[in-house]
Amino acid sequence: EPEVTQTPSHQVTQMGQEVILRCVPISNHLYFYWYRQILGQKVEFLVSFYNNEISEKSEIFDDQFSVERPDGSNFTLKIRSTKLEDSAMYFCASRPGQGAAGNTIYFGEGSWLTVV
């Protein structure tokens, strides 16, 4: 079964460093998302992306964050200058947007980011 894949699975970075988290959404999906989950807390929405632009973003998604779909298969989340509080599991997700399962969101296994 097709799945959303994320790399790296775990990254440790120094405070102030830039981090890029990579995702390969399911082929033919039209909508892409990033969520994050701080340890012990709920899953929080960051940003949604459709038709090569951000369609919605939360208050968490400030100027330190950016997303990009550089080619037909990858979807990346960049954190420009990481802070300690950015330590979390980051989930990429995608949705078909059409067809019977158009509203179902499929999540990757996450990238665990630790900022030290």
Partner 1 sequence: SQQGEEDPQALSIQEGENATMNCSYKTSINNLQWYRQNSGRGLVHLILIRSNEREKHSGRLRVTLDTSKKSSSLLITASRAADTASYFCAPIGDSGYSTLTFGKGTMLLVSP
Residues at the contact surface with partner 1, assessed by CB under 8 A: 4, 33, 42-45, 48, 56, 89, 91, 93, 97, 103-110
Least separation in angstroms between residue 81's CB and partner 1 is 26
Nearer to partner 1, 82 or 94 (CB): 94
Give CA separation, 102 vs 44, 56, 81, 88, 105, in Å: 21, 18, 35, 28, 8
Least separation in angstroms between residue 70's CB and partner 1 is 23
